[in-house]
Amino acid sequence: MTATAPPPAGGQITDAQGRVEPVPGSIPTESDFYNDDLRPVPAAERTWKTYNFMALWVGMAHCIPSWTLASGLVALGMDWRQAVFTITLANLLVLLPMLATGHAGPKYGIPFPVLARASFGLRGANLPAMIRAAVACGWFGIQTWIGGQGIFILLGGVFDANWAAYDEIGGQPWPLWVCFLLFWALQMAIIHRGMQTLRRFENWAAPFVIVGAIVLLIWMADKAGGLGPLLDQPSKLGWGADFWPVFFPSLMAMIGFWSTLSLNIPDFTRFGRGQRSQVWGQALGLPTTMTLFAVLSVLVTSGSQAVYGEAVWDPVLLAGRADNTLGLLYALVTVLIATISVNIAANVVSPAYDLSHLLPRLIDFRKGALITGVIGIVIFPWKLIESPDIYIFTWLGTVAGLLGTVAGILIADYWLLRRTVLDLADLYRPGGRYWYSAGWNWRAVAAFVVGGVLAVGGSHTDAGTDGPFPEDGVIPFLQPLSDYGWAVGLGASMLLYTVLMAPVVRRQRDTAG
């Protein structure tokens, strides 16, 4: 594909590390598409190093939902080897688009919705931004509910409380709702202090959570007199014809777990000192951490089966069985730190920027975070995780298909067509090269619609399981594609967008030249 011509002379400068900054005064700060949260981060403020990105991923990956991913796969019939293999492969695959979209962060200092303007248009970028925000709000609610449950269970153990004797509201004891709301408020207070506070929190939260997981393993191994029989249990699926129909949709669902971050990772990498920091930090932080956590999950659960006669996959329920107050308090603090670490970084930062992008003059980062918190409550997150089928296939699978479609467009535009060359000022200027037609690029919208339909149009619910889709699929002839939703969405949108946009990019190059 052809590359675009360099931006107009004098519009931006590039330092020795390849970091680009606009010339003072070149960006129209009075524009309706600009505010301080969306501006390019000055090179002097791009200070995150490799450890900061590693700590970010360790903090995000070491959470209760990550811990229970392996349990969900085992519940579907896999053995521990198959579950760990599926999770590891998924995270290696999702790392590739994450590094690709993350490149724009250290180079230009821009967040995800501003990067999306290059392909979707200044106004059209709200389409992928709002989809990403909606997904993040859902995840924020789920994580907050899980964290509130953890506090509820562990406090019950500390104070030996009989929660069942308390009055119920909405089918749950009222102290559970109090724990949920208090945990919500704590997260809002932390994010209100901004991104540098988040960086400092992640730096010390990451090693604390790792130590907590290892302590849980040592405690359980000691009580079990070994790691128990779970590691010897055979797969219910084998490695033949019964395995692959479960493996591929599960792989797409595991990719879906972090496909959200493969879009908005520039929200973090924009603070990176350089490409080396974000590439090594993410490569060392994501796949290794997720694999380690999956193995720890299986080992600890195997010990629980030997001790209690049943596999206790939920680490909160397992910690709640500790027979001393000190152990329960330590588990409580670990759950708090682990859940806050992932929830704020993965599920508040992105929608805060995305909502700010929707109305830059009215919504700043902090207001966007507060709106995210409110939406995270009103979507009833406890309903999204009632069933493994809904959680893994409906929620994660559908999310993966749609977000893979957006990722395909961003990668095609930034790498294949523009060869990483962007005009910073035009990303904020109506009437510039990214204005297209009234701020919308219909080619990106068309690629998104086609890729999205191919990716999730065949979504179906297996017979005898829970789910909102028809058994033969929403669009029956697309059902075979639904098991590969993320890959189908990414590949289809990337191909179609490249074909549609190549002449436009060529004209922009010729005009600039």
Q: Which pLDDT score is estimated for 81?
A: 82
Check residues 258 and 494 and name the one with the higher pLDDT.
494
- The 3 state secondary structure assigned to 428-476 is CCCCCCCCCECCECHHHHHHHHHHHHHHHCCCCCCCCCCCCCCCCCCCH
CA distance 435 to 333: 49
Residue 1 has pLDDT above 50, yes or no: no
Mean per-residue pLDDT over the chain, rounded: 82
User: Minimal CA–CA distance to 101: which of 117, 90, 112?
Assistant: 112
So what's the pLDDT on residue 421?
A: 93
SS3 letters for 317-374? HHHCCCCCHHHHHHHHHHHHHHHHHHHHHHHCHHHHHHHHHHCCCCCCHHHHHHHHHH
How do the domains of the chain map onto residue ranges?
35-383
Q: In 135-176, at which residue ranges do the beta strands (DSSP E only) sit?
A: 168-169, 172-173
Cα atoms in the 13 Å half-sphere on the side-chain side of 191 = 31
**Exposure of 282 in the CB half-sphere (CA atoms within 13 A):** 26
Contacts of 477 (CB under 8 A, 6+ apart): 458
Mean pLDDT, rounded, for 55-59 = 82
- Looking at 127-232, which runs of residues are DSSP E strands? 168-169, 172-173
E strand spans, 41-177: 168-169, 172-173
pLDDT of residue 396: 61
Separation of alpha carbons 143 and 201, rounded Å: 18
| 39-48: average pLDDT | 92
Task: Say how far apart CA 411 and CA 408 lie, in whole Å.
Answer: 5
Bridge-based pairing of strands 20-22 and 12-14 is antiparallel
Between 32 and 5, whose confidence is greater? Answer: 32
Q: How far apart are CA 352 and CA 111, in angstroms?
A: 11
321 burial type by CB count under 10 A (0-12 exposed, 13-18 middle, 19+ buried): middle
What pLDDT is attached to residue 210?
Answer: 76
Q: Which residue has the higher pLDDT, 320 or 279?
A: 279
Confidence of residue 467 (pLDDT cuts 50, 70, 90): low
Place of tokens 């001393």: 324
- Contact (CB, 8 A) for 128 and 448: yes
pLDDT tens for residues 307-342? 777 767 777 777 777 776 777 777 777 777 777 877
CB-CB neighbours of 96 under 10 Å: 11
Q: Residue type at 21?
A: E
Give the CATH class of 35-383: mainly alpha
pLDDT reported for residue 410: 96
**With bands split at pLDDT 50, 70 and 90, how would you rate the model's confidence at 281?**
very high
pLDDT at 146: 81
Copy the structure tokens of residue 152: 């509820």
| pLDDT above 70 (res 232) | no
Per residue in 88-105, pLDDT (tens digit) is 998 898 899 999 999 999
Residue bearing tokens 């629980």:
304
Torsions phi, psi of 168, nearest 5? Answer: -105, 150
Name the residue type at position 37.
Answer: D
426 vs 58, residue with greater confidence? 426
Place of tokens 């994450």: 98
Give the model's pLDDT for residue 198.
61
Q: Average of pLDDT values for 447-475?
A: 80
Q: What would the pLDDT profile of 167-199 be if each residue is shown by its tens digit? A: 777 777 888 888 888 888 888 887 777 656 666
> Looking at residue 5, what is its pLDDT?
44
In this prediction, what percent of the chain has a pLDDT beyond 70?
87
Which range (156-160, 249-253, 400-404) has the least confidence? 156-160
User: CA 409, 486, 475, 240 torsion: positive or negative?
Assistant: positive
Q: Which two tokens stand for residue 127?
A: 């389409």
* pTM over 0.75, yes/no: yes
Q: Is 14 helix (H, G, I), strand (E, B) or coil?
A: strand
Chain mean position to CA 111:
15
Distance CA 141, CA 37 (A): 24
**What pLDDT does 494 receive?**
96
In tens, the pLDDT along 364-410 reads: 888 888 888 888 888 777 766 665 556 555 666 677 778 889 999 99
Residue 18: name the closest of 112, 109, 99 by CA: 109
Does 8 have pLDDT greater than 50?
no
- Angle CA 70–386–71, to nearest 5: 10
* Range with the poorest average pLDDT among 13-27, 53-67, 301-315: 301-315
